[in-house]
Amino acid sequence: MALRIEDYGLLGDLHTAALVGRDGSIDWLCLPRFDAPACFAALLGDERAGFWRLAPAAGGLCTRRRYRGDSLVLETEWETPEESVRVIDAMPPRGEAADVVRVVEGVSGRVPMRMALRLRFDYGHIVPWVRHQDGRLAAVAGPDAAWLKTPVPLRSEDMTTYAEFEVVAGQRVPFVLTYRPSHERMPRPVDAEKALADTEAFWTSWMRGFRYEGRWEEAVRRSLVVLKALTYAPTGGIVAAVTTSLPEQPGGPRNWDYRFCWPRDATFTLQALLGTGFVAEAKAWREWLLRAAAGDPADLQIMYGIDGTRRLPEYTLDWLAGYEGSAPVRVGNAASGQFQLDVWGEVLDGLHLARTAGIHADEPAWDLQRALLDFLEGHWDDPDNGLWEVRGDRRHFVHSKVMAWAGLDRAVQAVERFGLDGPVDRWRATRDKIHAEVCDRGYDPERGTFTQFYGSKGLDAALLLIPRVGFLPWDDPRVAGTVEAVRCELCSDGFLLRYRPQADGNVDGLPGTEGAFITCTFWLADALYGIGRHREAYELFERLLSLRNDLGLLSEEYDPVTGRQLGNTPQAFSHVGLVNAARHLSGTRPAEHVAHGHEHVGGER
């Protein structure tokens, strides 16, 4: 039986990340970076695809686990009335090479332990050549090489490396797995104990920049650690999740690769980082955004590789059965070639937010934004695929038009508030034209709500963002009507769906269903607070916090029927939603994020 998605904990070194199960097994790890082929891929198949288990010989799930303070040093404990043992896992911030450090610590009694290591490069497809080299186990295949160092005797059987040993109270036994490209020399081994101390010190030092005063400090702190762990340090890009193909519906085909960066997330992520004191990370994300968007504005993509790579061809790994039989397993993402109008507005909004926070753009950056605006002016009235990357027909999605409005509104503010140069009268006229059209064609007066697209009978959780971007104020009756309609029509056991896939003749063009979208439910809590329904907002937010696993991690979606997390994990969008909703509900969202420039005041309070 596969572990549940919420049974996994996260390790990371700001280049890549590993998932460790409650059974002590690392079932997912891509090396040397987030989007590289996995060397442990049991998560998407079975143990034949690669894993590394370190646990009591008796097996079973752990008794408890926790992170040390604000770090990603994970302590997993197994306890019986007679004995107990702890496994301490970490990935130290990247030095000469990528390392996974595991230390077994005897707590009480005498515990028989068992280690099993099965390295399988290229997503479980390639069996490496394994040999002993200078006191370490070496595994090599094609471009990949890994070394295991431990004082415990090792043996090989069925193309798997095993170790059996015992630990007593106070004894500590280290294991260090190191990766480096096979054409480079074998790296120097790291000292396991020093690596653990350095890892904890790194995270503790990083969290000193934390600024937040509110009711949910613990949850906000952990979510920010997750966001940092999802950051690719060399470029500042933040991946949407560390996994691919964890299903939105178990056994179904809605399985996507999320190991990329979405410009759409820019504003939300910048709000979370800037609003909690992490200006350096916000600057790095802004710089990534500028580099990714550079070039022909018509070629702006909805997602990029962690280094800004544009080509993300999608293909399937047919030798992997998928998580709980959810096939196909996909690598790459064909949605990268979609036309999603809202992205132009999201990028402009994100760069505007950075500007209002004092992260000033230089002249070439403003030239890029003007080029994006030129494109937006000429294409705002085109149908698109929408922010949810539907693979059905292009439509005039209301959220896309609202974000086109937001992009032009931020341009007007750039001239009026910051003295930048541009055709402000033309931008203002186009902005107002979009506003009038959306209110005319995207609003259903009989139902008192905005709709998913022009003429649609369906709704969309993204409609909750209309007041957040300043399109309408929170006290506009059309906002309150939309919030209530979305809550009534899209809630599943109190949690929000993105949309109803079957509405309007199967709007997304895909079979099957999906779970409730976690970040959308955070948007609902935020919106309920914004229209004055504070008690409901607090109750919903607390309920959302209960969806986190024991380590404070959230995936993309949640199934209210089975009570399980769904989709890729841990999900940046979910944790960003948590941070921003907590700030709003705590009254700590800064005033500079309020949108200005229209005839009414909207945006965030």
Q: Work out the angle at residue 193's Cα, subtended by the Cα atoms of residues 40 and 42, and round it to the nearest 5 degrees.
A: 10
Contact status, residue 18 vs residue 11, Cβ threshold 8 Å: yes
What are the CA-CA distances from residue 261 to residues 94, 150, 241, 414, 471 (Å)? 20, 37, 9, 26, 26
The residues near 347 (Cβ < 8 Å, ≥ 6 apart) are 263, 266, 289, 293, 300, 372, 407
Q: How far apart are CA 45 and CA 59, in angstroms?
A: 20
Neighbouring C-beta atoms of residue 325, cutoff 10 Å: 12
What pLDDT is recorded for position 595? 37
CA angle 357, 588, 283 (to 5 degrees): 30
Angle at 451 between CA 450 and CA 457, to 5 degrees: 135
Residue 115's beta-bridge partner residues? 54, 163
Q: Cα separation of 25 and 87, whole Å?
A: 11
Dist CA 386 CA 431 (whole Å): 19
Report helix angle 266-274 to 572-585, nearest 10: 50
CA angle centred on 386, ends 384 and 387, rounded to 5°: 145
194: nearest Cα among 176, 179, 178, 221 = 176
Using an 8 Å Cβ cutoff, are 260 and 304 in contact?
Answer: yes
Which helix (H) or strand (E) element contains residue 18?
strand 17-21
For position 589, what pLDDT does the model report?
58
User: What is the pLDDT at residue 2?
Assistant: 80
**pLDDT of the residue at 592:** 35
Q: 219, 242, 246, 245: which is closest to 229 by C-alpha?
A: 242
What is the reported pLDDT for 591?
35
**In the numeric block, which tokens belong to residue 342?**
């809202």
The sign of the CA dihedral 101, 549, 525, 515 is positive
Q: What distance in Å separates the CA atoms of residue 451 and residue 462, rounded to the nearest whole number?
A: 10
Which residue numbers in the chain have pLDDT < 50?
590-605
**Per residue in 391-428, is it b (16+ CB within 10 Å) or e — as a string?**
eeebbbbbbbbbbbbbbbbbbbbbbeeeebeeebeebb
CB 270 within 8 A of CB 45: no
Q: Position of tokens 């143990």?
A: 47
| pTM for this prediction | 0.94
Compute the distance between CA of residue 107 and CA of residue 88 in angstroms, rounded to an integer.
12
**Token output for 572:** 């940046």
DSSP string, 380-402: TTS-B-TTTT-SS--B-BHHHHH
Euclidean distance between CA atoms 182 and 463, whole angstroms? 50
CB 177 within 8 A of CB 106: no
- Give dist(CA 251, CA 321) in Å, integer: 10
Q: Is 518 helix (H, G, I), strand (E, B) or coil?
A: helix
- CA atoms of 605 and 594, how far apart (whole Å): 7
